[in-house]
Amino acid sequence: MRRPDGFDRRTDEPVEAAADAAGGSSLEALRRRRDAALRAIAAHEAAATPRRSAEREPEPEREPRRWALSAYADLDDGADPTPATDGPEPAPLPDEERGSLAQRVDRAWREALREQRRLDREEARETRREAKEAKRARVRRERAEVRRFTAARRRQVRAALLTGGGLALALLLLVGLVWSPLMAVREVRVQGVERLDAAVVQEALGDAMGEPIATVTEEGVAQRLSTIPQIESFRVDVVPPSTVIVHVVERRPVAIVPTASGEAVIDAAGVALGPVDESTAMLPRLDGVELGSAEFEAIAAMLVAVPTSVLEATATISAPTESDIRLSLTSGQTVLWGGADESRLKADVVAALLATQDPAVAVVLDVRAPEHSVVRGS
């Protein structure tokens, strides 16, 4: 920065000497310097002030600060700054008033610039604070708009989360309840048995007692009941919290066959159901028929269609061929059955013919053609 003329003079020299050394234009130069300083301050203030936000209301234009006017006030009054030589000696001046006029002006100018910078910094801080407040307000407004437009989606997500959480909780409770001792098997009921003892079935399922009721399956029950040949099929019902009901369908015994260990009862499939007892002693015996042969398959198809009353009245069944089945009744009568076709109709015809015949008379009932049955003497 260029100092005013006469700045370098000694402080103990009189003002008049400085003025003479600088020439008659020192006051005029100081006035120009003052004007230049004022213009520089105004330009600096205009450049340092940030542009205000569009949302804020425009403030009225302020006059530029004129901090240096007081420093240059004595330049316009035309007074001589040189102290008078007559009279008592003046009191010593403070440090800020010592020195030449140029030095005092320079100090005042520097003070004005420092004050201006301080005010600029405060205004900048205030502007930044207002900008931050405006940014926070804008962010709040944007978030409010986002929440308003996504409220329905948030409700859907919340409902989905609540539903999923409820289902998961219910599943956990169900799993915990199923595997708890409260849901263990403590009772096995057997239904549908006639010739088979229910205790045998319950004993076969005894190892299922105490297991979780959810683990009881038909495959597991079938594996346990496979040792009981009298059971043809079954159905399992699970009744929470601790009951298992087994509905049994027994195999129907239809004939007696000789075995290595004695006579045994079989069903139409040729499955041995056990030894002969009081309930099966009236069944017919197969004479000369091998299990699994074609003759046995024909006899089995016939036995399925024949009612129990006819079977109990039959003593033996023979079949030289699969189309020549013969029944020997306990009354001494003989029935020529023929093949296994139309067994149901043949059974009805035999029952009707037996109702019309004298049991004491040995006759032959030929029902090989059931619609044209023949009764003849032996």
Per-run averaged pLDDT (10 residues), the chain, 378 residues: 46 43 57 76 63 44 45 44 48 59 85 91 94 94 88 88 90 77 86 88 88 86 89 90 90 87 86 86 87 88 83 88 90 89 88 83 88 82
- Say what the pLDDT of residue 99 is: 67
Architecture of the domain delimited by 279-377:
3-Layer(aba) Sandwich (3.40)
pLDDT digits (tens, 9 = 90+) for 327-366: 998 888 899 999 988 888 998 888 888 888 887 788 898 9
Closest to 65 measured CA to CA, from 7, 112, 1: 112
Sign of CA dihedral 235, 239, 242, 243: negative
- Say what the pLDDT of residue 54 is: 42
Residues 6+ apart with CB under 8 A from 253: 195, 265, 266, 267, 273, 280, 283
DSSP state, residue 75 = G
Alpha-carbon gap, residue 108 to 111, rounded angstroms? 5
- Say what the pLDDT of residue 64 is: 44
- Say what the pLDDT of residue 61 is: 43
If one counts every other C-beta atom within 10 angstroms of the C-beta of residue 258, the result is 11
Element (H, E) at 376: strand 374-377
List the CATH code of the domain at 181-250: 3.10.20.310
Alpha-carbon gap, residue 53 to 132, rounded angstroms? 11
- Say what the pLDDT of residue 49 is: 55
Burial profile 70-94: b = 16 or more Cβ within 10 angstroms, e = fewer: ebbeebeeeeeeeeeeeeeeeeeee
192: left (phi over 0), alpha (psi -120 to 50) or beta: left
Give strand pairing partners of 95. Answer: none
Which phi and psi angles does 291 have, rounded to 5°? -65, 135
- Say what the pLDDT of residue 62 is: 45
Amino acid at 286: L
Closest to 284 measured CA to CA, from 319, 316, 331, 324: 316
- Say what the pLDDT of residue 242 is: 85
Alpha-carbon gap, residue 26 to 209, rounded angstroms? 123
Domain ranges of the chain: 15-146, 150-179, 181-250, 279-377
Strands of the sheet containing 243-250, edge to edge, are 187-191, 243-250, 231-239
DSSP of 293-334: SHHHHHHHHHHHHS-HHHHHTEEEEEEEETTEEEEEETTS-E
Counting Cα atoms < 13 Å in the Cβ hemisphere of 143 gives 6
- Say what the pLDDT of residue 336 is: 92
Location of structure tokens 């520097």: 110
Percent of the chain with pLDDT over 70: 77
